[in-house]
Amino acid sequence: MKFFYKLSGNVQSKPSRLIISVLFSFLVMTFVNGFIGGVGGFPVFLAFIIVFYLLRNVMGEGNRLTHQMAMTSRREIMYWMRNYCVAYLLLWFLLRLVFLFSRVTGWGNISGASALEYFRNLIAVSMFEKWAYLFAGILMFAFIVSLFPLTVITKLEHGVLYVLVDGALFAVVCLIVEQIGYYFTKTKSSCVIDSLLLCNKMKAGQEAAWIFGIVLFALAVCIVSYSYAAYCYGPKKGRTDDVAIQMAQRQKTIYKGKGLVHNVVMILCGVTAICVVAGIVFFMPEDTTGGYVKVAEFLTGDEVLGPMLYKNQVYIPVNEQMNLDETGTARGYLAGKKENCNSRFYQLAVANLLYTDDTNKTNRVQMEGAKSGVYAPVTEQEQKDAWKKDDVFLLWDEEWVSESTYSHEPTGYTVCNADFIKGLTMQFPEVEYHAQDFDDYDAYFTIRGYSDMDTVLMDGTVPGDWVGCILVKDNKFYFGSYDNRITGISLQELLDILGGY
């Protein structure tokens, strides 16, 4: 790049070009953020303004390499375009690294995570999310390449018309991708990356087909952009000698669209582009993910029957119906055990928000999102002893949900006799739960009581009445806490229930 600037001679900067470049770069960043998403922001703004301003400045002075070197205008455009693409990618990548470094060191790190935790969350994203962001990145690069002819277009009205048509075409492409995603997910999205992340059940072959398609599209954009830039930059009659014109015509015939028909077509294209862009922007769904962070977390892998922690207090699911999602306030995300809520996929496809009552009339909290449920403090439920009126007691595995995936009825449980439950609660009449006990265990079981077995088989998601839970660590069994080790007759009965665990 430096080599070409030296050949171009001294170029004097004009304030108007800088102002136009800044405004135009802001529009480019806004387009990428609004229609593509995920790969935009200030890296796009700064990278594009630097590359576009420098190239536009040189081209605007009319300094041609073809005047100083033995090369055609098409070859010169090839060099300029190659450097335009490489310079933009390098700048964008470096600015992304700076942005990442700033997040890790504190700026923008609203969750307060350490550098190690941040990098773990970054690496822990699924392969599908990586493919989705790769797709969005290639689409963003194709859009930037499509703007390359603007560095050689000299007439203002020509440049404005090109921007409108190009923006409309890419907006239509983004809209088509979103509509394809909506066809499979039946969920509206605000941009391309959101639509792709919602399609989280695509197979590897389908993901490869998406990437192959966007790569072909990007190559087509590169060819079209190069051809149109070469046409605009190439020699024209009346301002170039006949030898240069004949040299250019030997490579490709220059299309001469002149006259009234040409002008009418260009005007119609411009009007259509304006209408399309305005319509897409007007009907674009709003981004509803909000600015929530994780405020609560499940203590085990059982996110249906297991306990969760909110404000240093243990809660358990209860058989109650509430509408706190309508009358209460969303406090933040209720995440799975060690689940990352900062990923765009979680915010779009999961987004389990925890709601509380503003009036403090109830101490219940409610989860709504991909899953739903009402939770109450475990200390309150322990005092009620609602299980004493039940006749059926089940010991649920931690992974019972996944074990029931291919079954018409819930599985992953073992029936317990009432004597075992009574003996266990007599041995430990009061249980004090400690959240740190759930950080390290070898196995976990939930004990729930039900009025009859039909209730369980009819709807396995009914929480039932809380009896307690069992933690296993180093072949020792504990009831609710590591302070309550199960021994004696209760231990023997538990081993018989588990089949000699």
Q: Per the structure, how many domains does the chain have?
A: 3
CA dist 30 and 274 (Å) reads 16
Final residue in a domain of this structure, among 321, 351, 383: 383
Q: Are residues 180 and 38 in the same domain?
A: yes
Q: Are residues 143 and 242 in the same domain?
A: yes
Higher pLDDT, 109 or 181: 181
Q: Are residues 363 and 405 in the same domain?
A: no
Taking only the tens place, the pLDDT of each residue in 273-301 is 555 545 544 444 444 445 688 999 999 99
Is residue 370, in this structure, part of any structural domain at all?
A: yes
Q: Are residues 294 and 202 in the same domain?
A: no
Q: Are residues 345 and 481 in the same domain?
A: no
Is residue 282, in this structure, part of any structural domain at all?
A: no
Mean pLDDT along residues 12-22: 75
Q: Are residues 449 and 350 in the same domain?
A: no
Band of residue 62 on the pLDDT scale cut at 50, 70, 90: low
Final residue in a domain of this structure, among 258, 279, 313: 258
Is residue 500, in this structure, part of any structural domain at all?
A: yes
CB 319 within 8 A of CB 462: yes
Percent above pLDDT 70 for the chain: 74
Report residue 408 CA to chain centroid gap. 33
Higher pLDDT, 316 or 268: 316
CA dist 460 and 456 (Å) reads 5
Kind plus residue range of the DSSP H or E element containing 53: helix 42-60
Is residue 228, in this structure, part of any structural domain at all?
A: yes
Q: Are residues 378 and 397 in the same domain?
A: no
What token pair was written down for 447?
Answer: 């004990």
> Which amino acid, one-letter code, is at 456?
V
Q: Are residues 45 and 128 in the same domain?
A: yes
Q: Are residues 230 and 147 in the same domain?
A: yes
Mean pLDDT along residues 165-180: 90
pLDDT averaged over every residue in the chain: 79
Lowest-confidence pick of 261-265, 307-311, 408-412, 436-440: 261-265
Band of residue 91 on the pLDDT scale cut at 50, 70, 90: very high
Q: What is the pTM of this model?
A: 0.53
**Ramachandran class of 190: left when φ > 0, alpha when ψ lies in -120 to 50, beta otherwise:** alpha
Is residue 269, in this structure, part of any structural domain at all?
A: no
Is residue 177, in this structure, part of any structural domain at all?
A: yes
Q: Are residues 301 and 401 in the same domain?
A: no
Final residue in a domain of this structure, among 365, 383, 401: 383
Mean pLDDT along residues 138-161: 89
Is residue 271, in this structure, part of any structural domain at all?
A: no
Mean pLDDT along residues 339-352: 76
Residue-level pLDDT at 442? 93
Q: Are residues 373 and 413 in the same domain?
A: no
Is residue 328, in this structure, part of any structural domain at all?
A: yes
CA dist 161 and 288 (Å) reads 33
Query: Counting every residue, how long is the chain?
Result: 501
Q: Are residues 43 and 99 in the same domain?
A: yes
What token pair was written down for 344?
Answer: 């765009």
CA dist 415 and 395 (Å) reads 6
Domain that holds residue 31: 2-161+171-258
CB 163 within 8 A of CB 170: no
